[in-house]
């Protein structure tokens, strides 16, 4: 490949979410393979520097949808001007050689956001109303043009999961060239020793205000409503002695109020953003991730890599990788189904089997880099 490989992203600040972390990790893995890779992002969302990977910040208006329009072509234009040989768009961006939408299909994500926690009628009205906003119409148009380029053979379409592939087919009549999912850092996310797991469990119990040895369901996300924290709390109310630990940067007010109404009292601990999330994976009994939308959740993959049983949502692309390492709760909006899955994972024998299978499913960022290069030809 002549010229560098350019990864275009709508943002690279890892504090903002999993898509940003995934693009950064992919860039580092490519660089470790000796690839000349550079990342391009809005100047106000470029995030911290990456060792060995130049990050090029591109100026853009702050006002939307002007910002979206400017970035849709501006990032690719900057990469081409700098001599990029291949350009990969990791979001709602145009003029790339490959389109790899880390946010999934925008219409599917929008529907999940607007319907989350609402009645079917109110959710449908909210979805239709939001779709009419100027910014939403612009984002839909950008995505449609990216899909057009793939259908015309000007770009290759890559999906993060089979779930995203289905959304692409449904929304754009598009069959992806390949599925290239997310990975994990094996140095950071790996099964702990028995001693380390016991130490982490005691530390997590102290942080949760739980008795030593009490079962702990872990929830890790920033968008509490979209990721189904309300479903987990309603399920936990049906499982005596279960404690819930919540790590994430969303407003905790609604979660506290719901926990109070459910009588959970001190069985719910809201930690806020957590830097060392691996310690939580090592100490918890299970990860519960009842997400209403996820292209390919890093949280699920990281927990599995640590040998932590996972209860996942069928609306999460990462659920395809759970296998015997946990359970996919088909009845997503039924707290009783989540409560049943939680009771199952509390059985020591079932949990041990799930833990062993979870760790075996690990896929690294180097694997992702290799698959991406193969998909690019």
* Cβ atoms 310, 290 nearer than 8 A: no
**Separation CA 344–CA 328 (nearest Å):** 12
Q: Name the pairing type of β-strands 268-272 and 243-247.
A: parallel
HSE, CB side, 13 Å, CA atoms: give it for residue 256. Answer: 7
User: Tens digits of per-residue pLDDT, 98-136?
Assistant: 999 999 999 999 999 899 888 888 888 888 998 899 999
pLDDT given for residue 38 in this prediction? 98
Q: Give the percent of the chain with pLDDT over 90.
A: 90
Angle at Cα 252 formed by Cα 247 and Cα 258, nearest 5°? Answer: 110
pLDDT given for residue 2 in this prediction? 75
**Structural domains present in the chain:** 4-184+365-376 (3.40.50.2000), 194-360 (3.40.50.2000)
pLDDT given for residue 1 in this prediction? 53
From the number of C-beta atoms within 10 Å of its C-beta (0-12, 13-18, 19+), residue 124 rates as middle
* Distance from the first to the final alpha carbon of the chain: 9
The b/e string for 126-135 (b: 16+ C-beta within 10 A; e otherwise) is: bbeeebeeee
* Cβ atoms 9, 39 nearer than 8 A: yes
* Cβ atoms 126, 57 nearer than 8 A: no
Q: pTM of this prediction?
A: 0.94
Which pLDDT band, with edges at 50, 70 and 90, does 360 fall under? confident
pLDDT given for residue 362 in this prediction? 87
pLDDT given for residue 125 in this prediction? 86
Tokens coding 52: 């060995």
The b/e string for 76-114 (b: 16+ C-beta within 10 A; e otherwise) is: bebbeeeebebbbbbbbbbbbbbbbbbbbbbbbbbbbbb
């Amino acid at each position: 490949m002549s010229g560098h490989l350019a990864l275009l992203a709508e943002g690279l600040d890892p504090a903002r979410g999993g898509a940003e972390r995934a693009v950064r990790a992919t860039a580092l893995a490519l660089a470790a393979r000796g690839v000349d890779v550079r990342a391009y992002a809005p100047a106000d969302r470029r995030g911290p520097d990456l060792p060995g990977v130049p990050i090029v910040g591109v100026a853009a208006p702050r006002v939307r949808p002007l910002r979206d329009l400017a970035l849709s072509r501006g990032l690719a234009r900057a990469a081409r001007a700098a001599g990029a040989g291949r350009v990969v768009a990791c979001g709602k961006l145009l003029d790339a050689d490959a389109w790899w939408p880390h946010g999934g299909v925008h219409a599917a994500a929008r529907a999940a956001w607007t319907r989350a926690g609402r009645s079917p009628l109110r959710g449908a009205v909210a979805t239709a109303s939001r779709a009419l906003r100027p910014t939403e119409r612009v984002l839909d148009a950008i995505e449609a043009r990216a899909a057009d380029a793939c259908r015309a053979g000007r770009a290759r379409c890559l999906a993060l999961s089979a779930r995203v592939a289905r959304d692409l087919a449904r929304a754009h009549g598009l069959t992806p060239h390949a599925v290239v999912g997310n990975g994990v850092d094996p140095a950071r996310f790996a099964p702990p020793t028995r001693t380390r797991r016991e130490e982490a469990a005691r530390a997590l119990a102290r942080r949760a205000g739980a008795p030593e040895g009490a079962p702990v369901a872990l929830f890790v996300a920033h968008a509490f409503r979209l990721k189904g924290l309300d479903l987990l709390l309603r399920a936990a109310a049906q499982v005596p002695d279960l404690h819930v630990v919540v790590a994430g940067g969303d407003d905790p007010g609604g979660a506290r109020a719901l926990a109070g109404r459910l009588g959970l009292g001190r069985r719910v601990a809201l930690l806020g953003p957590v830097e060392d999330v691996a310690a939580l994976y090592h100490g918890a009994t299970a990860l519960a991730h009842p997400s209403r939308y996820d292209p390919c959740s890093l949280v699920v993959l990281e927990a599995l890599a640590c040998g932590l049983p996972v209860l996942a949502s069928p609306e999460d692309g990462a659920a395809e990788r759970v296998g015997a390492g946990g359970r996919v709760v088909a009845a997503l909006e039924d707290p009783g189904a989540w409560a049943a899955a939680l009771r199952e994972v509390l059985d020591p024998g079932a949990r041990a089997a799930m833990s062993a299978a979870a760790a075996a499913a690990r896929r690294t960022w180097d694997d992702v880099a290799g698959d991406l290069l193969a998909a690019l030809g």
